[in-house]
A and B are shown apart, each in its own frame.
Chain A
């Protein structure tokens, strides 16, 4: 055998060894009744045709490779952005394990959340006892300052009522009467993680604000939205707001929770919006959402309190950042500092330096609605064409907004918007109408492999590359990172296409 104690082969190499290759082939031939290589190849070729694309896009029943997660994931992420808050997901515990691993694999950090561990008897008799025991255990085991309750499908299907359950639990003494237990119903069969985020933020605000009188002040609330790059981005938002001298409260800030230092201390909780600030946020002058599709209900709710609200779509690139800064400047009555104007000029300078390499490039973009919208806009700023814009959790309203955006630039003329479509549909789109680059999450790597289109990882989840989320993408500074990430891929491709000695290396240039 190729494996030996002296020289242990990693699995990436080991199974390429002839022994394994032979074994796998034998297994295939003996037990799997395989189709002939020609038949497999013919089928593969068939999936590249327009005929298959039409069938693929007409598909109604099965969803294949959806680019979205479920509501409770968004709720757990949202809760992680508040001071010493433990997520408590009412329902079956396997779901919670998924949210934790999902967040952990992306951020390379521990992600804590607990479940009420409902079982079959709970499904039959209701999950009240699980709530009562669960809250008591969470309270005593993990000593959170707040427990944020959301739900899995199981609890939603049997119709457990969180509000009364939590009241009952408090009466039974699970947690003190005055203890903070905000909640949100987050059925996975409705919407996606961006809605779960929305519901949880609304639940937290409602918990602190309900029944209170608003005394309008002069601070501004900022809600970042579901953002896998929150570590870098939230810190950039704060830097910009500090530079502008704005009084603000970031509502939901998971940047420290998902970026704790290795210094010998395990921090189950780190950073986040304080409960006091969350409560006081009622008195803010206005609330600005940085991802409109993540905060539809929340902003409606905040609007009802009498605050002014504004929303953006993830401020990537020059024009989008301009709009955000101007809105904040107008709301807070402060000037935009020279520092930011300089940063703006530098980003534009960088874009001008590299424009020839980006002009006319075609992209397929997938991800959450706000991200796709922002990315399409940035791509068009650089002279690229966002040929396929796909959001599995994109709604009809999103599609409409996207079309307006695309119509505003000649570079969006040929672009198409695909709300509700999955990545298997994107595969057909990319095989029939090829693009130069694919922008999305790690899940795009299968498309990269099948279509040969280089993948640029710029949105959650990024499982197979490390630390991208530590750098901001938003604002002018983030724009540089965004630009560089795209350019790196462009140049890597140029190099790869010109690296065969004496054959294609004529353009293997040192200077580009």
Chain B
């Protein structure tokens, strides 16, 4: 039964990669095969939990031994504008005796009862885990019974850890929403400009930088799933006129099925980068107008885009001088690579490499257009190679997720977190400015000079002659000298280089606004897999 479910989830007509596969390959599923003995990412439980956890007014009850919840409690920086119930840690905390004597279901039922009575949540999501799945607890039945008894939605999420990868867990979460949540509430204020956004996690509250744009256009975000979502919003999501899938294929299946069931068209877009944000706004407007929204929406969207783009360009100006020519390595697993590349190149930064592990052959061609000279694409890079590249000084900064941060730091390279644990919002027009500001800060911290300089004595601890002379003078130290030097360099950048860079990429911007290019560009985000869920 489980096998059938998983198979169904992997058969995704909306996924280009999936459809390009042979029948046999498709059967194997789309997530990376698990490799016993190799360092690995999270499990299906983790994937399911992170995909639903940001639903703020629901209680998230983890049915299993303590550690499943204990290790994952409050580990995501989604922002909530209301309830903080979602951050509470609820678990049935099964013990050995419970497992041996089969008390799991009873304990779960009592757990739901207590939550319902004490917290009166909008809903309870119940997550199964390896242990409770193995001993055969029927959480569907318990949820159904508890739901009837206490008069609130109780949704079973059957994503035990052993079922598969984190990405599969994401899909299972999406399926749970479709099976139990969406369409269960009929809003009384349906309008022609209602949209749903799927796969937006509101990390560091970044969706709040985007939502005002929709507000200004008179577009109502009926539900943003799951970032800062209320249960009732998701339950009424089927009344939306269009869906935007942000970043993650994890929920594209959900989007497709919403199209099939309720006829809501969807597109995949991104709020990272100036061009992507603009294009996403345009797409939303187009889809809405096609379904009967007032025609002037398109013109108003254009006006907004023009205004915002010129504003963001002005705000990025101060950084051009400071950052021109700095070399960036993007190692983020596809998603942000391309949406951010254009913007960083716009201010004259050099992209020395970017991960293309999820890009199709056409995408690679586009990369070549975008980067013109020396497109440095690499498949997923082994930590060892990454370390070598950074240690050899081939980049001034690496932008990546937390997993590779220590590779950068140990290789003495500045690093900026652009994934899920970051604390700065990077979405939308303002987010791009924030990203550039953070890059500037990370790059120009004086301690990098110290990180890079070896100890001022030789390997045996004996003084090096030139340094002895310097040490004799009390100040300034050789290290401080170096700091100063790099700062001077930053303050007075090589104009000709910056100019050369701007010239080099001046034309690529024109190409970037080519609708055909953008259409394909958009496709890139469809190649996201397990590791990127919630990281985009």
A complexed with B: yes
What separation, in Å, do the CA atoms of A338 and B488 have in the docked complex? 34
What separation, in Å, do the CA atoms of A318 and B482 have in the docked complex? 14
* With contact pairs A326-B468, A337-B461, A509-B423 given, residues A383 and B74 touching in the complex (Cβ less than 8 Å): no
CB-based contact B474/A311 at 8 Å: yes
What separation, in Å, do the CA atoms of A21 and B410 have in the docked complex? 58
Q: Find the residue from B77, B82, B445, B481 having the highest chain A CB count within 10 A.
A: B445
8 Å CB interface, A369-406 against B? 377, 380-383, 401, 404-405
Q: Which residue of the partner chain B has the closest CB to A511?
A: B421
What separation, in Å, do the CA atoms of A348 and B454 have in the docked complex? 11
CB-based contact B446/A409 at 8 Å: yes
What are 13 sample pairs from A and B whose C-beta atoms fall under 8 A apart?
A319-B480, A323-B471, A326-B457, A326-B468, A336-B457, A336-B463, A348-B447, A383-B446, A408-B476, A409-B484, A502-B82, A505-B84, A506-B79
B451 at the interface (CB under 8 A from A): yes
A352 at the interface (CB under 8 A from B): yes
A49 at the interface (CB under 8 A from B): no
* With contact pairs A323-B471, A335-B460, A405-B475 given, residues A382 and B447 touching in the complex (Cβ less than 8 Å): yes
Contacts of A409 on B, CB cut-off 8 Å? Answer: 446, 480, 483-484, 487
B278 at the interface (CB under 8 A from A): no
What separation, in Å, do the CA atoms of A404 and B80 have in the docked complex? 49
Contact code string B445-469 (vs A, CB < 8 Å = 1, else 0): 1111011000111001111000110
8 Å CB interface, B473-502 against A? 474-477, 479-481, 483-484, 487-488, 490-491
Q: Which residue of the partner chain B has the closest CB to A503?
A: B81
Contacts of A313 on B, CB cut-off 8 Å? Answer: 474
A341 at the interface (CB under 8 A from B): yes
Contacts of A502 on B, CB cut-off 8 Å? Answer: 80, 82-84
Contacts of A351 on B, CB cut-off 8 Å? Answer: 447, 450-451
Contacts of A382 on B, CB cut-off 8 Å? Answer: 445-447
CB-based contact B463/A319 at 8 Å: no
A463 at the interface (CB under 8 A from B): no
Indicate which residue in A335, A405, A410 contacts B476 across the interface (CB closer than 8 Å). Answer: A405
CB-based contact B474/A319 at 8 Å: no
Contacts of A358 on B, CB cut-off 8 Å? Answer: 445
What separation, in Å, do the CA atoms of A405 and B484 have in the docked complex? 11
Nearest CB of B to A286, in Å: 13
B153 at the interface (CB under 8 A from A): no
CB-based contact B461/A356 at 8 Å: no
Contacts of B487 on A, CB cut-off 8 Å? Answer: 409-410
Q: Which residue of the partner chain B has the closest CB to A317?
A: B450
Indicate which residue in A325, A383, A506 contacts B447 across the interface (CB closer than 8 Å). Answer: A383
Nearest CB of A to B50, in Å: 14
CB-based contact A510/B75 at 8 Å: yes
CB-based contact A410/B461 at 8 Å: no
What separation, in Å, do the CA atoms of A338 and B480 have in the docked complex? 23
Residues of B near any A CB (own CB < 8 A): 73-75, 77, 79-84, 204-205, 409-410, 412, 416, 421, 423, 438, 441-442, 444-448, 450-451, 455-457, 460-463, 467-468, 471-472, 474-477, 479-481, 483-484, 487-488, 490-491
CB-based contact A326/B460 at 8 Å: no
* With contact pairs A336-B461, A408-B484, A409-B484 given, residues A383 and B445 touching in the complex (Cβ less than 8 Å): yes
What separation, in Å, do the CA atoms of A311 and B74 have in the docked complex? 51
Q: Is the interface of A mostly helix, strand, loop or mixed?
A: helix
8 Å CB interface, A318-352 against B? 318-320, 322-323, 325-327, 329-330, 335-338, 340-341, 344-345, 348-349, 351-352
A3 at the interface (CB under 8 A from B): no
Contacts of B409 on A, CB cut-off 8 Å? Answer: 349, 352-353
What separation, in Å, do the CA atoms of A345 and B487 have in the docked complex? 23
CB-based contact A341/B455 at 8 Å: yes
Nearest CB of A to B505, in Å: 28
CB-based contact A326/B446 at 8 Å: no
Q: Which residue of the partner chain A has the closest CB to B457?
A: A336
Q: Which residue of the partner chain B has the closest CB to A510?
A: B74
Q: Which residue of the partner chain A has the closest CB to B74?
A: A510
Residues of A near any B CB (own CB < 8 A): 311-313, 318-320, 322-323, 325-327, 329-330, 335-338, 340-341, 344-345, 348-349, 351-353, 355-356, 358-360, 377, 380-383, 401, 404-405, 408-411, 501-502, 505-507, 509-512
CB-based contact B84/A501 at 8 Å: yes
Contacts of B467 on A, CB cut-off 8 Å? Answer: 326
CB-based contact B455/A322 at 8 Å: yes
What separation, in Å, do the CA atoms of A382 and B479 have in the docked complex? 13
CB-based contact A381/B491 at 8 Å: no
Indicate which residue in A335, A355, A405, A507 contacts B423 across the interface (CB closer than 8 Å). Answer: A507
Contacts of A325 on B, CB cut-off 8 Å? Answer: 457
What separation, in Å, do the CA atoms of A358 and B441 have in the docked complex? 10
Nearest CB of A to B85, in Å: 11
CB-based contact A380/B468 at 8 Å: no
CB-based contact B476/A356 at 8 Å: no
Contacts of A356 on B, CB cut-off 8 Å? Answer: 416, 438, 441-442, 445
What separation, in Å, do the CA atoms of A320 and B475 have in the docked complex? 9
Q: Which residue of the partner chain B has the closest CB to A351?
A: B447
CB-based contact A404/B476 at 8 Å: yes
CB-based contact A318/B457 at 8 Å: no
Contacts of A312 on B, CB cut-off 8 Å? Answer: 474
What separation, in Å, do the CA atoms of A383 and B445 have in the docked complex? 5
Contacts of B480 on A, CB cut-off 8 Å? Answer: 319, 377, 380, 408-409
Contacts of A507 on B, CB cut-off 8 Å? Answer: 77, 79, 204-205, 423
Q: Which residue of the partner chain B has the closest CB to A336?
A: B461
* With contact pairs A322-B455, A326-B457, A507-B423 given, residues A410 and B446 touching in the complex (Cβ less than 8 Å): yes
Contacts of A381 on B, CB cut-off 8 Å? Answer: 446-447, 450
Q: Find the residue from B480, B481, B491 having the highest chain A CB count within 10 A.
A: B480
Nearest CB of B to A94, in Å: 40
What separation, in Å, do the CA atoms of A21 and B511 have in the docked complex? 73
What separation, in Å, do the CA atoms of A351 and B449 have in the docked complex? 12
Contacts of B479 on A, CB cut-off 8 Å? Answer: 318-319, 322
CB-based contact A341/B461 at 8 Å: yes
* With contact pairs A319-B450, A380-B446, A511-B75 given, residues A410 and B483 touching in the complex (Cβ less than 8 Å): yes
Contacts of B410 on A, CB cut-off 8 Å? Answer: 349
CB-based contact B423/A410 at 8 Å: no
- Apart from A383-B447, A401-B475, what 7 extra A-B contacts exist at CB < 8 Å? A335-B457, A336-B462, A352-B409, A352-B448, A383-B444, A506-B205, A509-B423
Contacts of B204 on A, CB cut-off 8 Å? Answer: 507
Q: Find the residue from A311, A335, A404 having the highest chain B CB count within 10 A.
A: A335
Contacts of B460 on A, CB cut-off 8 Å? Answer: 335
Contacts of A345 on B, CB cut-off 8 Å? Answer: 455
Q: Which residue of the partner chain A has the closest CB to B413?
A: A352
CB-based contact A404/B447 at 8 Å: no
Indicate which residue in B82, B447, B475, B477 contacts A352 across the interface (CB closer than 8 Å). Answer: B447
Q: Which residue of the partner chain A has the closest CB to B471?
A: A326
Contacts of B463 on A, CB cut-off 8 Å? Answer: 326, 329-330, 336
Nearest CB of B to A91, in Å: 37
What separation, in Å, do the CA atoms of A501 and B56 have in the docked complex? 13
Nearest CB of B to A472, in Å: 20
Nearest CB of A to B197, in Å: 19
Indicate which residue in A323, A360, A506 contacts B80 across the interface (CB closer than 8 Å). Answer: A506
Q: Find the residue from A405, A506, A512 having the highest chain B CB count within 10 A.
A: A506
Contacts of A501 on B, CB cut-off 8 Å? Answer: 84
Contacts of A349 on B, CB cut-off 8 Å? Answer: 409-410
CB-based contact A335/B450 at 8 Å: no
Nearest CB of B to A474, in Å: 16
Nearest CB of B to A111, in Å: 33
What separation, in Å, do the CA atoms of A224 and B517 have in the docked complex? 68
List the 3 closest A-B pairs by CB distance, nearest first.
A335-B461, A336-B461, A410-B487
Indicate which residue in B450, B462, B474 contacts A348 across the interface (CB closer than 8 Å). Answer: B450
CB-based contact B477/A322 at 8 Å: yes
CB-based contact A327/B471 at 8 Å: yes
CB-based contact B445/A326 at 8 Å: no
Nearest CB of B to A393, in Å: 20
What separation, in Å, do the CA atoms of A509 and B420 have in the docked complex? 12
Nearest CB of B to A158, in Å: 41
